[in-house]
């Protein structure tokens, strides 16, 4: 069995700013000698020699077999080093880690994906997975509600445009306050969710975003009638090993790295209040 502490080597193939504030970069890494498959919602530990290691959700589609994409916010030591990487440089990747969105259980269901800000990374992976011709027939309607503070902070703008043109996915993109040239929705994600009012009938809600967005979106979904076990989210927690050994990510009865990062709200309700 492969040693889960040893990263595989990958090469930076693309590297570009994703948002207008230049705080988020998307990196495409190419597999070299070793490779792995993954499911939507899983993450990797990304390491740079001499700098350290940090966890990031995989943003690309599991059907994209040649590499992996990550969208990374510059926060501290490791993320600054990642932003400074150049094309052709080598990095270490341990993964895939953690559980994933319940893509098998969701088969035959409608799905509403609700995202905010740069937490949209693994939701992109999930949506691209569900839209793949091999998978699209497995799901009924797919709706995407996605918001950011302003248009420049929305991730994956080209992809969002492509989704808007398709007739097999409903898109509701929003920004917090009106700006000139923006002709889509305006308002916070919880308010827009209430406006769109997705039916809870035979439907999963997959929610990912800043804690404040999740805090106010959950009551809306409950009011609309979504059962707690059909509301799913992904937790970000400080991590070290990423494989359930060090205890760094412990939360109640769970290790977020191993038992999560994906949980439904029935599970989260049993956890200590800090979630």
Ligand X SMILES: Cc1cc2nc3c(=O)[nH]c(=O)nc-3n(C[C@H](O)[C@H](O)[C@H](O)COP(=O)(O)OP(=O)(O)OC[C@H]3O[C@@H](n4cnc5c(N)ncnc54)[C@H](O)[C@@H]3O)c2cc1C
Query: Pattern 203-242, binding to ligand X, x per CB under 6 A?
Result: ---------------------------------xxxx---
Question: What's the min distance (Å) between Cβ of 74 and ligand X?
Answer: 7
Between the CA of residue 14 and those of 43, 69, 85, what are the distances in Å?
19, 9, 10
Does position 75 interact with ligand X (CB under 6 A)? The reply is yes
Radius of gyration of the chain (CA): 18
Does position 255 interact with ligand FES (CB under 6 A)? The reply is yes
- Name 273's Cβ contacts closer than 8 Å, sequence gap at least 6: none
Between the CA of residue 129 and those of 8, 122, 195, 255, what are the distances in Å?
24, 10, 27, 26
Residue 5: phi and psi, rounded to 5, are -85, -15
Does position 101 interact with ligand X (CB under 6 A)? The reply is no
Nearer to ligand FES, 208 or 257 (CB): 257
**Residue 274 CB burial class (10 angstroms; 0-12, 13-18, ≥19):** exposed
Q: Which does 7 bind (CB under 5 to 8 A by kind): ligand FES, ligand X, none?
A: none
Does position 29 interact with ligand X (CB under 6 A)? The reply is no
From candidates 96, 187, 227, 244, binder to ligand FES by CB under 6 A: 244
Q: Which does 72 bind (CB under 5 to 8 A by kind): ligand X, ligand FES, none?
A: ligand X
Tokens of 87: 């094309």
| Residue ranges binding ligand FES (CB under 6 A) | 239-242, 244-249, 255, 257
């Amino acid at each position: 069995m492969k040693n889960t502490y040893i990263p595989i080597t990958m090469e930076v193939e693309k590297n570009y700013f994703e948002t207008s504030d230049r705080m988020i970069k998307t990196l495409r890494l190419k597999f070299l000698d070793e490779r792995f498959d993954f499911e939507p919602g899983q993450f990797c530990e990304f390491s740079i020699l001499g700098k350290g290691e940090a966890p990031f959700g995989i943003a690309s589609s599991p059907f994209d077999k040649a590499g992996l994409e990550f969208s990374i916010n510059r926060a501290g030591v490791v993320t600054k080093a990642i932003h400074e990487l150049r094309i052709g440089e080598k990095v270490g990747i341990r993964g895939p880690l953690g559980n994933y969105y319940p893509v098998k259980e969701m088969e035959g269901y409608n799905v509403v994906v609700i995202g905010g800000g740069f937490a949209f990374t693994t939701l992109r992976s999930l949506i691209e997975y569900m839209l793949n011709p091999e998978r699209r027939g497995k799901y009924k309607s797919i709706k995407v509600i996605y918001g950011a503070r302003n248009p420049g902070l929305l991730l994956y703008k080209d992809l969002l445009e492509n989704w808007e043109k398709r007739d097999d996915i409903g898109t509701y993109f929003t920004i917090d306050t009106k700006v000139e040239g923006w002709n889509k929705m305006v308002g916070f994600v919880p308010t827009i969710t209430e406006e769109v009012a997705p039916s809870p009938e035979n439907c999963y809600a997959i929610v990912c975003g800043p804690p404040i967005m999740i805090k106010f979106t959950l009551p809306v979904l409950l009011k609309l009638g979504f059962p707690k076990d059909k509301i799913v989210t992904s937790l970000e927690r400080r991590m070290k090993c990423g494989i359930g050994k060090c205890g760094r990510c412990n939360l109640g009865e769970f290790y977020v790295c191993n038992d999560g990062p994906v949980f439904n709200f029935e599970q989260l309700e049993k956890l200590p209040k800090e979630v």
